[in-house]
Amino acid sequence: MNDPLNVALIYGSTREGRLCEAVADWVAGAVREHGDFTLEPVDPAMLDPRPGAKDDPALETLRGRLDRADAFIVVTPEYNHSFPAPLKFLIDSAYREWHAKPVAFVSYGGISGGLRAVEQLRLVFAELHAVGIRDCVSLAYVWNLIGPDGRLDPPAETRQAMPVMLSRLSWWATMLRGARQAAPYSEAAA
């Protein structure tokens, strides 16, 4: 691809000892291998965790990364049938940065592999005028897939699902980038 797509890799967890690191590292490797994207991490662990800390300079840095992105990949755990509060804070801290851009999901957790978190995130991103792509990658019992070296070793079907998801994300990102350039989304209902 002549003009690589910029994808923001969004970390969903800020917990100490988070498994998100291993999952996000694996996703980043797959994104680099795919070749259509440049990668920018967006980690809510950089943010001031105080409620209402909207004056945090790190927030402006992360919003800039979201704004530059042509697409997003959200790596999220499932906590109590939902996604973590720091991820919601990050999502709600931006608005137009999400408009008319595709979002892919990589989830992890116990028996459901984080899919209940993804279902809720789809509703949130639809409200933000983002396009959640159908394909996602989920990892059930993720703690059993991380080796002593801290690296994720997903099953074959997960490794096969990742390039499919990335190819579809690339298609959506390419089409929507062209559409945003041809007719800015903010003017669609002006």
Give Cα 124 to chain centroid, integer Å. Answer: 13
Bridge partner residues of 101 (DSSP): none
Give the residue among 53, 44, 47, 40 at the shortest CA–CA distance from 83.
44
For residue 16, CA distances in Å to 19, 56, 76, 114, 156 come to 9, 21, 15, 19, 29
Q: Which two tokens stand for residue 137?
A: 């990658």
Indicate the fold that domain 5-187 takes in CATH: Rossmann fold (3.40.50)
Question: Order of strands across the sheet with 131-140?
Answer: 37-42, 5-11, 71-77, 102-109, 131-140
Residue 51 pLDDT > 80: no
Helix (H, G, I), strand (E, B) or coil at 71: strand
Structure confidence at residue 189 (pLDDT): 67
Average pLDDT score over residue span 48-74: 85
Q: Considering the chain, what percentage of its residues have pLDDT values greater than 90?
A: 82
pLDDT at 46: 86
Give the CB-side neighbour count of residue 24, counting CA atoms within 13 A.
Answer: 23
53 pLDDT exceeds 80? no
Mean local confidence (pLDDT), 153-166: 97
pLDDT at residue 49 is higher than 70: no
